[in-house]
Structure 1
Amino acid sequence: MAQRFKKIGIANRGEVAVRIIRACQELGIDAVLLHSDVDQNSRAYRMADFTEEIGPAPSSESYLNIEANIAAAIRSGVDAVHPGFGFLSENADFAKACEKNGIVFIGPTSEAIQLFGDKVSAKNLVESINGPLIPGYKGDDQMLGRLMKEADAIGYPVMVKAAAGGGGRGLKVIRKNSEAKEMIESAQREGKNAFGSSRVFLEKYIEDAKHIEVQIFGDASGKVHSLFERECSVQRRHQKIIEEALSPSLDDKLRNKICSAAVQIAQAAKYQGAGTVEFLFDGKDVYFMEMNTRLQVEHPVTEMVLGVDLVKAQILTAMGEPLLWWDDLKPRGHAIE
């Protein structure tokens, strides 16, 4: 049954907050900005229909503070909260707190966030449906000796990654056996410091691979759709510099293969809302990397080539309303960010 929202809280700031406010207002929904004290002169603050302060400037005391955001959402009487991207957007505890307090989290379920937030559990899901995986080791035995032995077995170069990592942190390339101890311990330390977990996994490192990500969307009926791909192979220190849609590296056959794989992975998790399934492409085959359970920063390039509004789609889906443009998704032109 569809639930019409009257007020949506926006647990974010800057460009994405402005983007969500515009979508709310075009849908006739009041936008409530949950903001830190230093954002009172921001564009988002001036645009919002209502505002609620959540704390001082440090993100740990405001935008990353689950209790403060929930308290502000309750005070303002919102029906739902949109987390934007960054901050609490992929925090399963925040999604659970929203659910516990009768507030709709505009995004996937807390279970889906938790599943894909751990790269090992995500790979286990992909393995269970015979999805495309890079050869590697993701076992529970995290002793240094076992990890070094597995790296030797995989064959160098090997990538060691923090299981809870993201944004290029907790990621190291091991090019020979003599580097294994140092790189594994470094990834473990970085993972522990940045994400609270020292667990790592190993993968065969694919040289000169293309980085392709598929925009998927799970609608209110439970069906997952592909909105085609973006390519983000131009990077610096594992951070994307150029994002383009569609990818110039794929032909129609490969495009269908990678988009179908992305849909299958999301469908297996009963995923709802916007998400991005990331793959590596070595020129012949594609391999699953990870899934981001939120709206991507670079989502506008997909919107531009398809003529859709992903933020409005998120809100409508969270209200249980159907989206009517699935049968008319045809890429037009090319977009670069």
Structure 2
Amino acid sequence: MRRAAVIVNPTKFDRLTPLRARLEAIFRAGGWCDPLWIETTADDPGTGQTRQAVAAGVDLVCSLGGDGTGRCVAAGLVGSGIPLGVLAAGTGNLLARNLGLPHRRYVDGLRLALTGQNTAIDVMRIELDRDGDGTFAAPETGLVMTGIHLDAEIMASTSERLKKRVGWLAYPAAGARHAVHDRVTMRVETDRGDVVGPAPTTGVLVGNCGRLTGGIKLMPRASVQDGQLDAVVLTAPSVVGWVPLIAQILSGSQRSTKAIRRLECASLTVRCEEPAMIEIDGDVLGRAHGIRLSVDPLALTVRTT
């Protein structure tokens, strides 16, 4: 019989035992063995557990957690050929939203993971230069978006308690406090020769996916299967400056303006005059002077409709 592993982030659940029983019943009804359950930890948020599952010879690995758990599980699956089932239990659940998968509907998500088709998607590789000396650390894995400065500051200041209470609305609440956050001088350069800056910058977002919560298309042309990254460089020097920027984002326009510069590339490097906060798929990684991003085309298999 086929066997799966469920890599679960226990901090997302007040009572995990009843959910586990429901999901195990779905596995058995589908002709699968009871799954291998492995919980993530603060020291290992999913990658080591996934490699353990791969070594055990499972046929499917399900990520039961948020986008951060999903990216860590993906890091352990790339190159294995074993598909990822997404059981989205986070705040934004952006990977599930962009792929049209159920989010916070765990039975539906599992049924799709067991019966859906295998779809290859791109993976982001993110390297950080913490000290500004040109030395980049081993790459992190991302599936959705990487944020530099403003977006990451918002993530860092949003409490888990508030996210549990109001869901993704916690992010706009935190964002209001950072709307006129000090800008950081950045230089952005792509492999296609595009250069932005050095200039005071509100933030940079680099996406494998383009859709945010609420159906907002921050990067309308972004696709998880196009072998490229989409980036936006944001500049809003004042509260008034946010008005045209937000209006353009809500309109779904792909144009570049003074407030938002749009780029498409296979790789890009961002250099910051002072260390800026970094987040990957909602995981805050702290500050860095430099960040290098690239795409690994169609490197991960995901179960989809």
Which of the two has greater helix per residue?
A: 1
> Relative contact order, CA 8 A, sep 6+: which one is greater?
2
More strand, by proportion: 2
Q: Pick the structure with greater CA Rg.
A: 1
- Fold similarity call, TM over 0.5: no
TM interval, shorter chain, is 0.3 to 0.5
